Amino acid sequence: MSSVKPTPEPIANRAGLPALRARAGRHPTFLAALRRGLADGSRPGLSELRSRDRDDFTLGLLDAWAATLDTLTFYAERQANEAYLRTATRRESVRAHARLIGYELAPAKAASCHLVFEAEPHDAPEAVLDYPPGLQVRSIPRDGELPQLFETVEPLLARAEWNAMRPLMAWPQVLAAGAEEIQLAQDAPRLALGDPLLLMQGEVPVATGSGDQAGFLRRVSGLRDGIGGRRILALRSDPASQPPYSFQPILQAIWMPGLAFSTSSMVALLAGHSWSVATLASASNFHSLTPREMRQAVQASDFRAEGPIRPAMLRIRAGFFGNTAAVKLLPANSGIGAPGAVTATAGQVGDTPPGNRAYLYLDRDYPEITAGQGLLIRNAANEAWLRIHAAETQGVEAYGLAAKVTRLEVDDKGLAPDGTLIALSGFTTRGSIAHALPEPLPLADLPITDPVGQAAGALGADQVEIATPELQLMPGKVLAITGERADLAGVAAAEIRVLAQNLIVGDHSLLTFTQPLAHRYVRATVRLSANVALATHGETVAEVLGDGDATRTFQRFRLKSGPLTHVSARNARGMVPAIEVRVNRIRWDLMEDFRAAGPQDRVWLLRIEEDGSAHVVFGDGLRGARLPTGQGNVEAVYRRGAGLSGHLEAGQLSLLATKPAGLKAVTNPLPPAGGADAERLEDARRNAPMGVLTLGRAVSLRDYEDFARGFAAVAKARADWTFDGFARPILVTVAGQGGAILPEAGDDMQNLRAALLAAGESDLRVGLRNYRPVGFGLAARLFADPGHMPEDVIEAARRTVLAAFSFDARELGQGVSQAQVIAALQSAPGVVGVDLDALYTGDTPQLRPRLTAALGRPDLAGALPVAAELLTLDPTRLHLEVAA
């Protein structure tokens, strides 16, 4: 029996190794074993081969066989590794293993963003321009970049008025009955201290005070200049605070049959209410009003439930005829024991003709006073407000006087400040004064200084008032909000929000979004645009794939352009290919495999190969229908372009590749997100078994993690139990490829949320949040091998430790210890020792034994749950030096 071992090297593999050892030997061991065999006594035929010279033919032949065995065992080991999913290194091997369990490696996915278009003014201002999907926009490349093309995937409704809507900058000044201060507009007439004023509500003055202190008349007690030319008046009145400006609730519209619907009748119907645009649109359609007519009706309406209180200055102060007549006293010895002196002019003002009217004679002619005006008469104890029914000039002789005066016909009772009617008999000619010709004073609008996005008064953080009534902004419309952040001076921000409600309130709109704004904005810098459409990376290509042949099975066609665009979708993979295949102009449907297809089913499969090319595969007549014979009858319309190359900066998408009439500019206020390169091998090894592990359902925390991690654009995921005070919902934290933050309102997050709910328990609440990136710093002294240059050692250690604690190498909720940092640094070439000086988060360097990353948890303040953290090394806080 031979004493030479057939296997010079033992073959043994412990569990969990990244690669298998399966080589029986290498060239040196094979050559040594063959040379030992020459001296083996059990092989007498080899005893004559005694030469050990390297140039000997026999030794040369053994060397050749050793090289052959080395080559064979190398490839045998590679084949052994490629036979297992964990150890396979070639993409085609991993793909083949995944296909055995029905898993396809994820192709590249297109990024998406909302584009904001600028529309040109239209001849018809109320016209809404409708553009179909497919508007192409090209990026302006930065250094080292190529231009990227994006296409809109939804219709665009645009108006020039929607380019840059401004928030409401001021609201009407609302006066209370007891207002003690008012702000007049810049063009208001000049007033002086002591001038009389009335606060009018409609045609009636508003009283202040109560009991004996009640009265209509106010006096200007103070004057000062305000901002923007406003004049601020202080009034003598009871102190009262001005109520905040508020919006009236929506009232149900009741359209009465047979109503003559005109602008004036619309004004009457709208007054006192605020209206949703849906209600107004229904009324407009029912009564055949154009958008312009509806806008005119709305802007002409006063949307207050009661008439507003307006100040009015009293232009005329008049006495009554006879108040200057000489006083004639009765003789003391007349025998009449009067308690006081009586004069002829001490009686009531005016005359009382038959009926309920009275005539008042003013002290002279006032041609400015006409019928229909109001009149305030007052004495030391009472006031009365009267309506003038008629005014005429008359000559009067009485009390020893003759004059040409104004005679007023009024009711014989007037409105007292306490709301009752008071007889004119209490007002005497000599002791009463008349104030007439009330002239309305224009009020200044009050500036709004609250930041947009901040809950204030009746408004919430999800509401914005815009300065115009936009009747055609319907719920569901997407708006872009841009402006300077109120908490960070000079820092601009942008958000995309969906309109939930649009209330028309007077001359402006109150917009309510489905979600609150994430930031607070300086009001003067805010612009809102409704010319918004969703776009994804890629361009549309129409292509004839080839000829159908009914004699062939599993016909296969390769798309000439690529990579094929995949867009976000609500399925387990989170995306679908953007392609449509037609045969003889009839659409055929995409399937994942042919197992469920019958002989007549017009279906096809999509296969992505190692080079990224896409192939369309048809059935064999048993599993899926064969293609009918025809020339050029197999066509496809698809989109090409995907991957992280679509992750651009905000504002880069600014070139209209297609220039339809009516659009002149475009931009992207937010950077595109959600793109992903083709699935990496490490991710494929981890994600491929998911389907057979969960069978399309999510039950345990691990199931939710695996499900979310296998979703397109998601690189990392973690699931944690939380508690909201009533139940234990699950919080799933996700991170995009390369550490990207997925937009909360974007398609990827919405589709993942819907997919998790569909795959999980129906009565289990699931939250979804973006991860919280946390950077840490470290400082260390390195002991270098004397044979290495210090700068080379530092650079090698820097690369090694940054790779060890990069986004790709870390997991959500994973901590960092001193031992891990030291081990990573010592693995760098030329490093023989490490003295760690600092390991910290935050801004203060300190040496901590371990850094912890927070897991998903409920927010103790009662808000949304707090997502898990991901600890990565911050390059700006990495300090290395070589010890002397």
628 with 734, same domain?
Answer: no
Could you tell me if 380 and 360 lie in one domain?
Answer: yes
Which strand ranges, in their side-by-side order, compose the sheet holding 390-398?
357-361, 401-411, 390-398
Q: Residue 836's beta-bridge partner residues?
A: 780
Can you tell me the distance from the alpha carbon of 429 to that of 324, in angstroms, rounded to the nearest whole number?
Answer: 10
Distances (CA, A) of 213 to 70, 175, 194, 418: 115, 20, 18, 10
Mean pLDDT, consecutive 10-residue segments, the chain of 884 residues?
58 85 88 80 68 79 92 92 89 88 86 94 83 94 91 94 91 79 84 87 83 79 71 53 32 31 40 55 54 58 59 91 70 46 53 72 92 89 90 86 90 84 83 90 84 76 88 91 92 93 84 90 94 94 94 95 88 88 95 89 91 91 94 95 90 92 94 87 82 78 88 89 81 90 84 88 86 94 92 94 94 94 94 94 92 84 77 94 86
Count of Cβ atoms closer than 10 Å to residue 295 Cβ:
21
pLDDT of residue 272: 45
- Does 588 lie in the same domain as 566? yes
Q: Are strands 463-466 and 218-225 parallel, antiparallel or unpaired?
A: unpaired
Q: 627 and 711 in one domain?
A: no
Helix H or strand E segment including 877: strand 869-882
Same domain for 706 and 612 = no
Q: How far is 857 from 724, CA to CA, in rounded Å? A: 10
Cα distance between residue 511 and residue 505, in whole Å: 10
pTM score: 0.73
* 634 and 697 housed in the same domain: no
Structural domain includes residue 631: yes
Whether 704 maps to a domain, the answer reads yes
Over residues 415-449, the pLDDT tens digits come to 888 888 888 877 888 888 999 988 888 888 888 88
User: What pLDDT, on the 0 to 100 scale, is given for residue 379?
Assistant: 87
Per-residue pLDDT tens for 480-529? 999 999 988 999 999 999 999 988 877 788 899 988 898 899 999 999 99
Same domain, 425 and 368: yes
Q: What pLDDT score was predicted for residue 620? A: 93
Q: Domain span at residue 35?
A: 27-83
321 and 433 co-located in one domain: yes
**SS3 at position 582:** strand
**Listed residue (478, 499, 493, 463) closest to 669, CA to CA:** 493
Q: Is residue 576 part of a domain?
A: yes
Any domain includes 747? yes
pLDDT, position 411: 86
840 found inside a domain: yes
Q: How many CA atoms lie within 13 A of 286 on its CB side?
A: 16
pLDDT value of position 339 = 43
Assess whether 706 and 620 both reside in one domain: no
Tokens of 459: 């408004």
Query: Which among 611, 640, 669 is the end of a domain?
Result: 640
Residue 841 belongs to a domain: yes
- Any idea what the CATH number is for the domain that residue 347 is in? 2.40.30
Instruction: For residues 605 and 711, state if they share a domain.
Output: no
Q: Is residue 302 part of a domain?
A: no
Can you give the pLDDT at residue 202? 84
What span, in angstroms and rounded, lies between the C-alpha atoms of 647 and 567? 14
Domain check: are 353 and 432 in the same one? yes
370, 403, 438 - which closes a domain = 438
Clarify whether residues 634 and 696 are in a common domain: no
Q: Which of 416, 438, 460 is the last residue of a domain?
A: 438
Residues in the chain: 884
Measuring CA to CA, which residue among 882, 883, 805 is closest to residue 839?
805
Q: What are phi and psi of 227, to 5 degrees?
A: -70, 140
* The total number of structural domains that make up the chain: 5
83 SS3 class: coil
Task: Give the pLDDT score at 131.
Answer: 94
Kindly give, in sequence order, each residue whose CB lies less than 8 Å from that of residue 353, ignoring residues fewer than 6 positions away.
359
Tell whether 587 is covered by a domain: yes
What integer pLDDT is reported at residue 260 of this predicted model? 35
> What pLDDT was estimated at residue 247?
33
**Residue found by looking up tokens 């108006």 in the block:** 159
Displacement of CA 444 from its chain's centroid (Å): 34
CATH classification at residue 700: 3.30.300
Q: What is the DSSP string of 628-695?
A: PPEEEEEEEEEEE--SGGG---TT-EEEESS--TTEEEEE-SS--B--BPSPPHHHHHHHTTHHHHHT
